[in-house]
Amino acid sequence: MISHIDHLVLTVRSLEETCAFYERVLKFTRIDTPGRPTSLHFGTCKINLHEIGHTFEPKSAAPTPGSADFCLITRESIESILHHLQSENVAVELGPVERNGANGPMTSIYFRDPEHNLIEVSQYSV
């Protein structure tokens, strides 16, 4: 019945700091549209950002900065991602470690964004 995730929403304290991080570290593209949430686009997906005090309806029951934990898939090697994170002074919290994703075995690394959301970047085993 459901085929995939289109977008997710992050509640943030600082729209500018969050956008700068995702643009710099993960190469996402920021889109600002009047009357709509700022969004960060990558591949065929996006993350909408709701800044505390400037949220959009409807929203989760208790939107809280730093409460997200999500996994992003890369086609690049985990070593390449690690090198890039190091060059951007982003601390890796865990990894590389073996995990099991929706499509099978993968190698993952974990780090946090400025809001302390946990980001997992994974590459599926070939």
Catalytic residue among 17, 88, 93, 120: 120
How many Å apart are CA 46 and CA 34, to the nearest integer? 17
Residue with tokens 């977008």: 7
Strand duo 104-112 + 118-124: pairing: antiparallel
Number of residues assigned to the chain: 126
Is 98 annotated in the active site? no
The pair of structure tokens assigned to 120 is 């997992």
In sequence order, the β-bridge partners of residue 111 are: 92, 119
Which stretches within 1-126 are classed as H helix? 15-26, 78-87
Q: What is the CA radius of gyration of the chain?
A: 15
Give the active site residues: 120
